[in-house]
Each structure stands twice: as C-alpha cells, then as structure tokens.
Structure 1
Amino acid sequence: METSIEGAVADTGGSAAPVDPPVAAAPQPTPAATTAAATVVATTAAATATTAVAERAADADPAATPQRAAAPPVSLSPSRAGDFMQCPLLYRFRVIDKLPEKPTEAATRGTLVHAVLERLFDAPAAERTAPRAKALIPGQWDRLRESRPEVVELFADDPEGERLARWLGEAERLVERWFTLEDPSRLEPAERELFVEAELDSGLRLRGIIDRVDVAPTGEVRIVDYKTGKAPRPEYSEGALFQMKFYALVVWRLKKVVPRRLQLVYLGSGDVLTYDPVPADLERVERKLLALWEAIRLATETGDWRPRPTKLCGWCDHQAHCPEFGGTPPPYPLPVRAAGPGSAAQGRMGPD
C-alpha cells in the first residue's frame, strides 16, 4: 500500500521496499507541520550554503578542515560521533589536534558523486537523465580541484592520466547505477545538501548535512542519504542507520516532525536500505548521544583519549602518532585535570 510520501515522490522504481502505513506513534501531519517540514532549515540560505560546503568537506576528508587553534569541541556531527565510537584517540587527532590527513580516492569520488547528484536537480525533471548526469562529472571534478587543490595529489604519479580515467569511469558507473534505484524525473526534493543544527535541552548541539529531503504534500518527510560504497551485511545495518537516526533526531527536535522514512541508497552495490522511525527510536538515540558527549567531555577535560584497535587501524593516517603502533601523540593542547574512574568507559560505546 502506498502512502502519501510515495505517491508524491514515487522514486523507488520497484527497487526499495514499499512504505507501510504511517506509524501510529508518529505525529500526524498538520498544516503547521507541513510548513515546518518544507522549510526544515536552521539557518539562512547563505549561511547554510557556506557551512554545508565546509561540513561536507570536513566529513569526507578531515584534512579539508581549516586549521584553527585547539579548542574544546562544542558540537557533534554523525561523522565525529562515529570517530569517537570507533576510536577515541582518532577523534582527538581529528577534532582536538586537527592532524592533517591525505585525501583518498574513495572519499574524493564520494564527494564528486554527491555533487553530481545534487546538481542534476537543477535541470528540469524531463532532462534528469543518466547521460546528462554523467556529463556533469568533468565540470564537478574541475570545481572540486579548485576548491580543494590537495585532491590533485591523488593523481600526481599518473602523468598519462590512466588512473584518473579509470577513477572517473567508476564515478560514472556509480551515477548510472543511481538511475536503477531512483527516478529523478519523478522527484522534486524540498532540500539538497541541507545543513541542519539543533540544540538539545541538555545544551548539546547536533549538526550535520543531509543529502536530500523529500516532503509530501501532507507534510511527511523522507530523509535520503547516498552512499558510494556497498550496503553492509544485515548484522551491521544498525550501525549504518545510526547516521540517519541522528539526522532524524535533529529534524524532530528542530521542527517537531518525526521523519516518515529514512532511506540509504547504496550506489556501490545497488541496494536501498529503509527504516521508518518512531519517537521511541529517536529518544534512544538522544540518550546515546548524551552519554557519548559526556564521555567526550570527560576525555577533553582529562586528556585521556584511549586508542581502540580494530581492523580499521590499517587505513588510519595517524599510526605514527598512535601508541598501538609505537607512536607518540602530539602534546595535548588543552588544559587537563586529573582523570576520574569514569574515564575508563571510553571506546565501549556502540552505534545504538
């Protein structure tokens, strides 16, 4: 059975699971809620655009973050929350020390594909075709090199351009696959690359960038995120949904609207993962984030940032500074106090 959001944007092309009837626990749309959903933005358009560029670049590649003097963290994004849950010391290196990191082909390709999918919606619906989307890739790659010159280093040892051609070809294939999962000619997003920010009653400030927001005429909201990798195995899907529940919580606290659907579009494997949240889900996420933020606050005050070795360590740029690999972290740049017994809880938090 279709609900209004599917009737309004009807983009699944049969690839995603159908939307079930609205969950009774979720707030029912009202005219006020419809207006709020259609304008779910916390800043002015100019501020949003500026912040979105910086947030997207920083999340894709922390090295893109402008270097600033060390200061205690004041907000939490899904990427940085994920960093702390993966390894508290990685969080410190990225947020407190702001250590440089080299761009990677995978992350840069993801940034490029996101830009292409965003810009495609500038065209009239009938012109949102796969050939047009692929034609956007060279121009968006030029813009990316201009805004982030460090990505040129990725192909510095490729004088003939062979690796670059293969890399761009993979970006084309990811863009093409999107058209098998969604039909952009039948979509009119309410927002693209939307910067959202909300302060919880506790004072914790949450922020992030949502790839796409679809809003039905009835006010039901769908949050969509593009992933250029492959879908996780079912046992890891909850971790993949953490980011989406984070966004849903921000939208709920900001506009008092529980998103009807969360949708992850995996271009690497051609899968669509969906989840319909209810307030109880988001309340659990909020409690999780508050506990996470308390652990971050304690680590910030004590300087006790412990490494948490996993298989992901092999891809970390900071092994030279990590005690697990015989390295020494740089001098801690913030004032510290004596660590209490609670500091040992670092690194034991899961995604939900």
Structure 2
Amino acid sequence: MDTSFEEAGAAASGPEPTDPPAADATTGAVATDTVAADAIAASAAPTEAPAPAAVPNPSTAPDAVTATSPSVTEAATAATSTGEAAEATETSETAGSAATAAAGAPADAASAAPPVPRPAAAPASLSPSRAGDFMQCPLLYRFRVIDRLPEKPSEAATRGTLVHAVLERLFDAPAGERTAPRARALVPGQWDRLRESRPELAELFADDPDGQRLARWLGEAERLVERWFTLEDPTRLEPAERELFVEAELESGPRLRGIIDRVDVAPTGEVRIVDYKTGKAPRPEYAEGALFQMKFYALVVWRLKGVVPRRLQLVYLGSGEVRTYDPVLADLERVERRLRALWDAICEATESGEWRPRPTKLCGWCDHQAHCPEFGGTPPPYPLPVRARESGGVPQGRMGAD
C-alpha cells in the first residue's frame, strides 16, 4: 500500500454530528446522495464504493509531499487562464471560492465593485455544488442558476470562506513559519479583506453594536484554523496548487468546472486532492454526497491530464477528522456516466420549463420558501423560451409564467 501521503496528519475521532446535513460552507454542496431523475438512477452503478475511512494516526511519517511533478501544474496554468474569465461570467457556480480568493487578494483588488447582475441564460456548465443542487431539488437549481435569486449571507458559510482563505494564505510563509499562532493572526486581516470584497457581509453583524457576537464568531474561526494543525502538518507540505480552478468538457456532455482547495504531488508523481470542510463529518448515510464532490474533481483531473488521482482527502475541521478514498478508473467512469445523465435531465428541464420541487428536511434552511409551491409560494416568471410539446401544447407543471 502506498504511504507517500500519510504524513498529512493524524485523524482525531470526533463526535458524530447531530444536526441534519447542511450545505458545505464554501461550495454549497449538500451531503446527500438523492437522485433527481429516473435517467440518473438508471445510469448510476448498481453499487457504490464504501464510504471513505478515517485516516489512522501515523506516528512515523515519510518525507514531506513536494510539488515535483508538472502534470497537474501544467493543467492548472491552462485552466486558470480561462477560469478567471469563466468565474466572472458565471458567479453562481463559484461564488464561495471566488470570495475566498478575493479574501486573500490585495486590498485594492478586493475593493472592486460588485458584479452587475447578468440576464438569464441556459446552463452552460456543471460544478459539484450545482450538481448537488439539482439532485437535492431541481427547483432549487433553477432558482440559483437560471433565476439567480439572491440569498442572504450566513455566518456558517462566511466562516467557511474565511477559514479557507486563512489556510490558503498560510502557505505563502516559509515552511518553518507555518505555525498555529501565525495562522490565528491571519484571521482578522482576512476578515477585513473579505468584507471589502463583499459589502453585503456587513449585514451579518449589523445588530451587534458592541461587537461581542462578531468576537465570538471570529474566535470560532480561529479555533477551526487551530484544529487543522492537529490533522495536518503544514511544515511538511508544499502544495502543488491552492484554490485551483479546473475545467474540462466531456464529449457530447457538459463542461465540468470547479475549484480544488489543494493539490499535493508526491515525489513519485502521485496526486492527492484535498478539500477542507468547516463542518462535522457526516454520518455514513450522507458520506457519499461529499465523496461525490471529490470524485467529480478527480474526473476533471483525469480528463485534463489522463492521470487518476491517487488519493481523495476530506479534512473535517468541525469534528477533527480526516477521511480518504483511493479512486480507481472505474469510479471515475461511473461518475462520468452519472453526470452525463444528470446533464441530460437538466437540459430537458431547461427546455420544458418543468422544475419540480423535492421536499426534504433541508427545506427548512432554504432561502427561497417564498417562491416555492411547497410553501404556498409562486416561482418568478420563467425567463427562458419553453419548448412546446409535439402536440403543440404547453408542458404541464411548468414553474412560472412566460
């Protein structure tokens, strides 16, 4: 068994979460593996791989991971050149990670004016978070991707963005200076930059005149950052990439895109994809949702460079756990078939205008209840052309008027 990545840190066994599965603070992906259409279920493999296991505590660690292989770095250079423009024109796909990047940018760059709302357009690409939206609730996907309805910032999601920015910026320092005190000291400055790049975040603490709630919130972010040092040792890591934008277009399928938190390349050239989660590790019945996101990234890397990542690693700061999965080519082929079927279902809904809600216990956290028929609401008028049925009639069950 390969052990070239095991120096990443010990996995402390944390408490099992008691809260229902919630959207990840950065990507918005939901830890659930429900299926949105019969076509998706038919295309999925009959059995899924087992949930990722916790990493054992490595008392003796091999040499540090170094960025010695150009395989992923070269792909990053090509992808990033188009990624910056793509993010500017499709903010709903990468809002959380774009904010993370802005939080780490110079203050003058972070102070740029907010983007102008764009007119409605048919979906052109698919990210892990938007795929998760459609599988959770097709109507939620429509609200976020086509209608682009605004959503209030949340303390949990914003804290996740802040923690991601701190962990990314920490690697700017020399290896010996990547300490917990230095990381904690980065939190206030990264919060200032995040607020400058996203003025709407001011409303989070508008009712906190004495600053006590803000101080507690920043303290929670500092504790999450500090916990990371019990799981990984940044003095022994030299990431090949951080906040890496990747994009690949499937033949006769969607353009896949996303932002990977960290890419490590071992001296042997093997690739590890790492994702930080500021929440707790999910229960086994919800674990496949987070693993789906990682397999999505692995598929994009494979399609870009023909390399199957050696390891997928999820770092759960909320519960102090590291979970890993070592994919094989068959895993990525199954994910690709599933994404093709998912994209077919999205295209069908886009053309027909039929976006059905799927009620779950996650509805209680949804910002769009006022527009959802399940809560007595009415969706906004559908902004795209609708394909008539062969008989010439209008599809039944369409959400909203023309």
Give the alignment's TM-score, normalised by structure 1.
0.86
| Distance across 2 between alignment mates of 1:60 and 1:310 | 29
| Distance across 1 between alignment mates of 2:149 and 2:168 | 30
| Alignment correspondent of 2:47 | none
Q: Deviations over 1:59-81 (max 9, x none)?
A: 699xx875200000000000000
Look up the SS of the partner of 2:117 in the other structure.
coil
Residues 1:214 and 2:264 are matched in the alignment: yes
Residues 1:323 and 2:373 are matched in the alignment: yes
Residues 1:120 and 2:156 are matched in the alignment: no
| Alignment correspondent of 1:298 | 348
Alignment map for 1:142-161 (pairs within 5 Å): 142-161=192-211
Residue ranges of structure 2 left out of the alignment (5+ in a row): 13-53, 58-67, 100-113, 397-402
Alignment map for 1:100-249 (pairs within 5 Å): 100-249=150-299
Residue 17 of structure 1 is aligned with which of 44, 52, 55?
55
Q: Deviations over 1:233-284 (max 9, x none)?
A: 1222112201000000000001100000000000000011100000000100
Cα separation, partners in 2 of 1:93 and 1:209, compared to 1, 3 Å: same
Look up the SS of the partner of 1:207 in the other structure.
strand
| Alignment correspondent of 1:287 | 337
Q: 1:205 deviation in Å?
A: 0.3
Q: Deviations over 1:287-319 (max 9, x none)?
A: 110010000000000110000000011111111
Amino acid at match of 2:257: R
Look up the SS of the partner of 1:331 in the other structure.
coil
Q: Would you say how many aligned residue pairs link Structure 1 and Structure 2?
A: 325
| Distance across 2 between alignment mates of 1:285 and 1:71 | 26
Look up the SS of the partner of 1:308 in the other structure.
coil
Residue ranges of structure 1 left out of the alignment (5+ in a row): 20-32, 345-352
Residue 74 of structure 2 is aligned with which of 26, 39, 57?
39
Cα separation, partners in 2 of 1:59 and 1:301, compared to 1, 3 Å: farther
| Distance across 1 between alignment mates of 2:73 and 2:116 | 32
Cα separation, partners in 2 of 1:47 and 1:204, compared to 1, 3 Å: closer
| Distance across 2 between alignment mates of 1:191 and 1:236 | 28
| Alignment correspondent of 2:33 | none
Q: Deviations over 1:74-94 (max 9, x none)?
A: 000000000000100000000
Amino acid at match of 1:99: L
Amino acid at match of 2:4: S
The answer to whether the Cα contact below 8 Å between 1:177 and 1:270 also exists between their aligned partners in 2 is yes
Cα separation, partners in 2 of 1:37 and 1:59, compared to 1, 3 Å: closer
The structure with the greater share of residues assigned to helix is 1
The answer to whether the Cα contact below 8 Å between 1:52 and 1:195 also exists between their aligned partners in 2 is no
The answer to whether the Cα contact below 8 Å between 2:163 and 2:221 also exists between their aligned partners in 1 is yes
Q: 1:217 deviation in Å?
A: 1.8
Give the alignment's TM-score, normalised by structure 2.
0.76
Q: Deviations over 1:30-73 (max 9, x none)?
A: xxx94323433163656546766955425699xx8752000000
Residues 1:258 and 2:308 are matched in the alignment: yes
| Alignment correspondent of 1:30 | none
Alignment map for 1:49-60 (pairs within 5 Å): 56-58=94-96
Identical amino acids, percent of aligned pairs: 78
| Alignment correspondent of 2:24 | none
RMSD: 2.4
